[in-house]
Amino acid sequence: MALSIQQRGSVFLVTVVCLLVVGICAPFSGHDLQRAMQIAIGACAVLYGLSIVPVGQLLDRPTALGLILIIVLGLVSSMLAHQPLWALAEMALFVSCGSIAVAFALLRRQGGEPLDRALVMVVVLLCLIKSIQYLYAGTLVFISAERALDPDLLLSGFSNKRFYGQFQTFTLPLLALPLLIPVISRPLKGAVFALLCVWWMIAIAGGTRGTWLGMCVAAGVLAVLGASGRRWLGWQLAAMFGGLLLYWLVFAVVADYLGVEVSKSASDRLTTSLSGRGPIWWQAWHMIVECPWLGFGPMHFADIANEIAAHPHQAILQWASEWGVPSALCVVALAWRGGWATFSVLRERALSNTRADLLRLCLFAALVGALVQSMVDGVMVMPNSQVWLALVVGWLMALHVWKNPGTAALPLAWAAWKVLSVLAVGLLVFIAARDVPHIKQAQQQYLGTHVDLLQPRFWAQGVIAR
């Protein structure tokens, strides 16, 4: 018996939640597992998209034309690249993220406001699990005979603490939503606020400056978005100070009392150093100067080996050096256009306290924070961050209020998108099936001939230069 549209949506949502829980919360998780998780979510999104007809307008004509231009330029750049298959793999990731965003937009359109509650529950669940893991790991250190504590070792499920910070940049704004909804009971708000304080403590202890920067800019933007934005800012400031208090109590008072020496203090991260980004930014700039129109090819920053990273930790430089300056300008224009459209809706509905409008506010804060962090970090590269970026964009697309609603998607355009999505996910599945059985061996071989450091890009060992 064929499943109804609601049942298909439920199956898709449950599958995605299970994949997210495994990819983020499993102690053995890391970059490669999260990439596999992303590919699986992309495949589920394509299957879900194939099974339903789009409801209402998701994109306007200028945005659709801009995306077509980016894809065409990317295909040309990939065909001219040194390693076309890896370049096409990067393009496939871009299309796959688009499929995930479209699937979440269609899911929200079909399911309505109950899906908003489901999203918040998923965010609370993930943050709660990660907080329990963090506090449990810290407790084990304090009750053991060890007399040294490295806060970085308390962060589990991610290959690098900056990737953990990127996840927090997406979830810190969303975790404040229950605090903004008037009908939520005080005990429940108190529990969520306590969780938000712990989540801030972990963000402070983790020392990811990109997260701090992204949240600061998001706070500044929301401060001018009316009463709801300022209430969001007030809750975040209160939780941040609560997190600072918890950090001081745990890593100063309790640690001193038990005679545990804490290394890598958060205050040590209050610097303006680039942490090695200068050389890779210069490498990206030289690539732009050498090939300004079509770039070296998607993912091809990783085709020029260096001792620091397989991506430049700066989204605009990365896109311009790999896809070309025209494509980068198009991406920036589309991002600005979409952000301004959401900003305009938020200003017009600044006095609204409906759940959908408050969720739009929190999603916009998460998007602003992530985009700001992408200027100094690999938000556009890491698999978990790509999935959350697609989720935020897709949900904002579903919630967007069109001033001049257009017609539904054209059948020919929708069919072309389905074909492109299937091809993209098919390529990603092929690469995963080819590489995963030998991935540990390839990593050991790389570590044996290079510095003892993996440089993540597609896989944890992301350097594709031969």
Instruction: With respect to residue 303, please indicate whether it lies within any of the assigned structural domains.
Output: yes
Q: What is the pLDDT of residue 120?
A: 94
Instruction: With respect to residue 246, please indicate whether it lies within any of the assigned structural domains.
Output: yes
Structural domain span for residue 427: 5-263+277-449
Instruction: With respect to residue 284, please indicate whether it lies within any of the assigned structural domains.
Output: yes
Whole-prediction pTM value?
Answer: 0.95
Instruction: With respect to residue 457, please indicate whether it lies within any of the assigned structural domains.
Output: no
Instruction: With respect to residue 455, please indicate whether it lies within any of the assigned structural domains.
Output: no
Q: What is the pLDDT of residue 302?
A: 95
Specify the number of domains making up the chain: 1
Q: What is the pLDDT of residue 359?
A: 96
Per-residue pLDDT tens digits for 330-358: 999 999 999 999 999 999 998 888 999 99
Helix, strand, or coil here: 400? coil
Q: What is the pLDDT of residue 144?
A: 85
Instruction: With respect to residue 86, please indicate whether it lies within any of the assigned structural domains.
Output: yes
Instruction: With respect to residue 441, please indicate whether it lies within any of the assigned structural domains.
Output: yes
Q: Which residues of the chain have pLDDT under 50?
A: 1
Instruction: With respect to residue 317, please indicate whether it lies within any of the assigned structural domains.
Output: yes
Q: What is the pLDDT of residue 293?
A: 97
Written in H, E and C, the secondary structure of the chain is CCCCHHHHHHHHHHHHHHHHHHHHHCCCCCHHHHHHHHHHHHHHHHHHHHHCCCCCCCCCHHHHHHHHHHHHHHHHHHHCCCCHHHHHHHHHHHHHHHHHHHHHHHHHHHHCHHHHHHHHHHHHHHHHHHHHHHHHHHHHHHHCCCCEECHHHHCCCCCCHHHHHHHHHHHHHHHCHHHHCCCCCHHHHHHHHHHHHHHHHHHHHHCCHHHHHHHHHHHHHHCCCHHHHHHHHHHHHHHHHHHHHHHHHHHHHHHHHHCCEECCCHHHHCCCCCCCHHHHHHHHHHHHHHCCCCCCCCCHHHHCCCCCCCCCCCHHHHHHHHHCHHHHHHHHHHHHHHHHHHHHHHHHCCCCCCHHHHHHHHHHHHHHHHHHHCCCCCCCCCHHHHHHHHHHHHHHHHHCCCCCCCCCCCHHHHHHHHHHHHHHHHHHHHHHHHHHHHHHHHHHHHHHHCCCCCCCCCCCCCCCCC
